[in-house]
Amino acid sequence: MLLLAPMEGLLDATLRDVLTRTGGIDRCVSEFIRVTDMLLPERVFVRVVPELLNGGRTRAGVPVRAQLLGSDPGCLAENAARLAGLGPHGIDLNFGCPAKTVNQSRGGAVLLDEPELIGRIVAAVRRAVPAHVPVSAKMRLGFNDDARAEDCAHAIAEAGADELVIHARTKAHGYRPPAYWDRLAEVRQSLPAHLRLPVIANGEIWTVADARRCREVTGCEHLMIGRGMVTDPGLALAIKGLGDVPWAALPPLLQLFWQQVSARVERRHRAGRLKQWLNYLRKRYPEAQQACDELRVFNEPAHIDAWLRRAQGPCPPTTEPNPVAPAEMTQAC
């Protein structure tokens, strides 16, 4: 099984929709929904996970598991119960986000220093949602070090989680290579037989060879792919031996991406979102580097429309609705 990872500010509902159309992905996880001290209205869940309006699946039919982030077991449980009523294909809990602002508010990876609290959160959510709704968790190997990695994994398993994704780095490692797959293997193997649950490996899977070696080192059959899939939309297909996605197939996907960005993102951020994806694609496709060079000085949507027409014929008309939320421009060509 191959999962598409959540990536705040990059791999959102728009890119989930586009990437799952290429094939090979079995399930997605949404970017996190932040839970603090209140029961969120349904519209907040739908804004982050619009697939809830489509039976919990992308338009290509790939199921989406909605992710919650927070540190209050009771509040997370209450929100999980409301979210479960909207029909996601499971609820995931975030214990891996390395963002400083999130960690300072006791969310994400900072909780890896408190395995007891992690266990209480998972147990509370598991009790709050119907038995048929899977509850999973995503963690890193630790915050500043990996000394409590086994404790956290045990706490998650003992609390009744159905599945565990481990990003094979600590918060301190950030996204710098390498991923410590051997350490992930130790954590997986430390789970006693009565606590065994599917463990999914995540981190530094960019190629078919990486996927093969990750499986060999970690012993994990299932993988989660993030930046590797953004860089190479055919990676999941290639890992499964079903072919790849040549550049000739990309212009229609870029056009679809642009159309959806134009409907969801503030005008001034739209060009940045397209450039952000092209910045990843150029690592795999030389043609994407040429596109970056051509678009570098353009920020007006009209210029992007013209470029897409040259690349792929007439671009579907875009509208000027009220944007759902501004995009975070983390990288650009």
Domain ranges of the chain: 2-239, 247-312
Nearest-angstrom CA–CA distance, 127 and 299: 49
Q: Which residues pair with 199 in a beta bridge?
A: 164
3-state secondary structure 88-143: CCCEEEEECCCCHHHHHCCCHHHHHHCHHHHHHHHHHHHHHCCCCCCEEEEEEEEC
Q: Give me the CATH code for the 2-239 domain, please.
A: 3.20.20.70
3-state secondary structure at position 251: helix
User: pLDDT tens per residue, the chain (333 residues)?
Assistant: 999 999 988 999 999 999 999 999 999 999 999 999 999 999 999 999 999 999 999 999 999 999 999 999 999 999 999 999 999 999 999 999 999 989 988 899 999 999 999 999 999 999 999 999 999 999 999 999 999 999 999 999 999 999 999 999 999 999 999 999 999 999 999 999 989 899 999 999 999 999 999 999 999 999 999 999 999 999 999 999 999 999 999 999 999 999 999 998 999 889 999 999 999 999 999 999 999 999 988 888 888 988 888 887 544 444 433 333 333 333 333
Same fold, 2-239 and 247-312: no
Whether 315 is catalytic is: no
Number of Cβ within 10 Å of residue 325's Cβ equals 12
CATH number of the domain at 247-312, out of 1.20.225.30, 3.40.50.170, 3.30.230.10, 3.30.930.10?
A: 1.20.225.30
75, 97, 152, 333: the active-site residue: 97
CB 87 within 8 A of CB 45: no
